[in-house]
Chain A
Amino acid sequence: MRVLVVEDDKDLNRQLVAALGDAGYAVDSAFDGEDGYFLGDTEPYDLVILDIGLPKMDGISILEQWRRSDRKMPVIILTARDRWSDKVAGMDAGADDYVAKPFHMEELLARVRAQVRRASGHAKSEIECGPLRLDTKTARVTCSGQQVKLTSHEYRLLAYLMHHNGRVVSRTELVEHLYEQDFDRDSNTIEVFIGRLRKKIPADVIETVRGLGYRLSETPAEA
Chain B
Amino acid sequence: MRFNSLAFRLFATAAAWTLLVLPIAGFIIYQLYRDDVQASFDGQLLKLVNAITVDSMGSAAGEAQPLPPSNLYEPLFEVTHSGWYWQITPLQPASGRKLVSPSLATWTLPSPEAKSVAPDASGARWLNTKGPKGEPLRIVEVIDSLGHEPGKPRYSIVVAGPQDWLDHLVANFRYRLSTALALAGLGLVAVTLFQVRFGLLPLRQIERGLAAIRSGTATTLDGDLPAEIEPLQSELNALIRSNQAIVDRARTQVGNLAHALKTPLAVITNEARTDKTGLGDKVVEQAEIMKQSVTRYLDRARMAARVGVIGRVTPVAPVVESLARALQRIHQDRGVVINIDCPADARFSGEKQDLEEMLGNLLDNACKWARREVELSIETPTTTSRAKNRRLAIIVADDGPGLNEEERARIGKRGLRLDETKPGSGLGLSIVLELARSYGGTCELGRAPQGGLSVHLNLPAG
Interface residues in chain A, defined as those with a beta carbon under 8 Å from any beta carbon in chain B: 9, 11-12, 15, 19, 53, 79-85, 87-88, 90-92, 96-98, 100-105, 107, 114, 118, 123
Where chain B touches its partner, the secondary structure class is: helix
In the complex, which residues 262-277 of chain B have their Cβ closer than 8 Å to any Cβ of chain A? 262-267, 269-271, 273
Q: How far is the CA of A85 from the CA of B356 in the complex (A)?
A: 6
CB nearest to B351 among chain A residues: A85
* Contact (Cβ within 8 A) B258 A82: yes
Q: Does any Cβ of A come within 8 Å of B323's Cβ?
A: yes
Q: Are B332 and A118 in contact (CB under 8 A)?
A: yes
When chains A and B are docked, how far (Å) is the Cα of A97 from the Cα of B423? 13
B333 within 8 A of A: yes
> Given the complex, which residues of A lie within 8 Å of B353, measured CB to CB?
83-85
B265, A102: Cβ atoms closer than 8 Å: yes
Q: Tell me if A87 and B325 are in contact (CB < 8 A).
A: no
| Contact between A88 and B356, CB atoms less than 8 A apart | yes
Residues of B399-447 contacting chain A, CB below 8 A:
423
- Assess whether B326 is in contact with A87, with CB atoms less than 8 Å apart: yes
Cα A81 to Cα B251 in complex, Å, equals 11
B270–A12 touching, CB < 8 Å: yes
**Once bound together, how far apart are the Cα atoms of A85 and B360, in whole Å?**
9
> How many angstroms between the C-alpha atoms of A24 and B422 in the bound complex?
25
Query: Assuming A12-B270, A83-B353, is B262 touching A96 (CB within 8 A)?
Result: no
B377: CB under 8 A from chain A? no
Residues of A within 8 A of B264 (CB): 9
Q: How far is the CA of A12 from the CA of B359 in the complex (A)?
A: 31
Q: Which residue of B lies closest to A90 (CB)?
A: B326
Q: Are B267 and A83 in contact (CB under 8 A)?
A: no
Give the 5 A-B residue pairs with the shortest CB-CB distance, closest first. A84-B360, A91-B326, A80-B262, A102-B266, A80-B259
* B residues in contact with A100, CB < 8 Å: 262
A161 to B420 CA separation, bound complex (whole angstroms): 35
Residues in chain B within 8 A of chain A (CB atoms) = 255, 258-267, 269-271, 273, 287, 291, 295, 322-323, 325-326, 329-330, 332-333, 352-353, 356-357, 359-361, 423
Residues of B within 8 Å of A11, CB to CB, are 267, 271
- Cβ contact within 8 Å between B357 and A83: yes
A53–B269 CA distance with the chains assembled, in angstroms = 20
Contact, CB under 8 Å: A19 / B270: yes
Most buried by A among B291, B326, B352: B326
Task: State the Cβ distance, A74 to closest chain B Cβ, in Å.
Answer: 11
Cβ–Cβ contact A107 & B263, under 8 A: no
Q: Are B270 and A81 in contact (CB under 8 A)?
A: no
When the two chains form the complex, which single residue of B267, B287, B295, B322 contacts A92, counting CB atoms closer than 8 Å? B322
Determine whether the beta carbon of B356 is less than 8 Å from that of A118. Answer: no
Question: Which residue on A lies nearest to B251, using beta carbons?
Answer: A83
CA distance A101 to B258 in the complex (A): 9
Contacts of A98 in B (CB 8 A): 326, 330
Task: Find the A residue at minimum CB distance from B257.
Answer: A80
> A103 to B266, Cβ gap below 8 A?
yes
A residues less than 8 Å from B273 (CB atoms): 105
- Contact between B262 and A88 (Cβ–Cβ < 8 Å)? no
* Contact A80/B258 with A88-B360, A92-B322, A101-B263 known, Cβ cut-off 8 Å: yes
Chain B neighbourhood of A102, CB < 8 A: 262-263, 265-266, 269, 287, 291
Name B284's closest neighbour in chain A (CB-CB).
Answer: A104
Contacts of B267 in A (CB 8 A): 9, 11-12, 15
Contact (Cβ within 8 A) B333 A123: yes
Beyond A87-B360, A101-B266, whether A81 also contacts B255 by CB under 8 A is yes
Contact indicator B323/A81 (Cβ below 8 Å): no
Can you give 5 A-B contacts (C-beta < 8 A)? A79-B259, A80-B262, A97-B329, A102-B263, A105-B270
Are the C-beta atoms of B325 and A84 separated by less than 8 Å?
no
Bound: A91/B263 CA distance, A: 21
Complex: chain A residue closest to B358, CB-CB: A84
User: Cβ of A104: which chain B residues have Cβ within 8 Å of it?
Assistant: 269
CB distance from B436 to the nearest CB of A (A): 15
Q: Taking A12-B266, A114-B333 as contacts, is the C-beta distance between A84 and B287 under 8 angstroms?
A: no
In the complex, what distance in Å separates the CA atom of A11 from the CA atom of B332?
A: 31
Does A91 lie within 8 Å of B258, measured CB to CB? no
- A205 to nearest B CB, angstroms? 28
The distance in angstroms between the C-alpha atoms of A201 and B128, with both chains bound, is: 148
State A101–B255 Cα separation when bound (angstroms). Answer: 13
- For the complex, what is the distance from the CA of A90 to the CA of B54, rounded to whole Å? 123
A114 to B264, CA, bound (A): 26
Q: Please give me the residue from chain B that is nearest to A94 by CB atom.
A: B329
**Which residues of B have CB within 8 Å of A79?**
259
A212 to chain B, nearest CB (A): 32
Task: Return A130 CB to nearest CB of chain B, in Å.
Answer: 25
Asked if residues B329 and A96 are in contact (CB atoms below 8 Å), the reply is yes
> Do B259 and A53 touch (CB < 8 A)?
yes
Q: Evaluate contact between B258 and A81: CB separation under 8 angstroms.
A: yes
Chain A residues whose CB sits within 8 angstroms of the CB of B262 once the complex forms = 80, 82, 100-102
Of A84, A96, A101, the residue contacting B357 (CB under 8 A) is A84
Q: How far is the CB of B119 from chain A (nearest CB, A)?
A: 107
Interchain CA distance A101-B291 in the complex, whole Å:
9
Q: Which residue of A lies closest to B364 (CB)?
A: A84
Residues of chain A lying within 8 A (CB to CB) of residue B255: 81
Smallest CB-CB separation from B260: which chain A residue? A80
Q: In the complex, which of the residues A81, A83, A85, A91 contacts B325, with contact meaning CB atoms closer than 8 Å? A: A91
Distance in angstroms from A70 CB to nearest chain B CB is 18
CB pair A15–B270 under 8 Å, yes or no, is yes
In the assembly, what is the distance between CA of A90 and CA of B326, in Å? Answer: 9
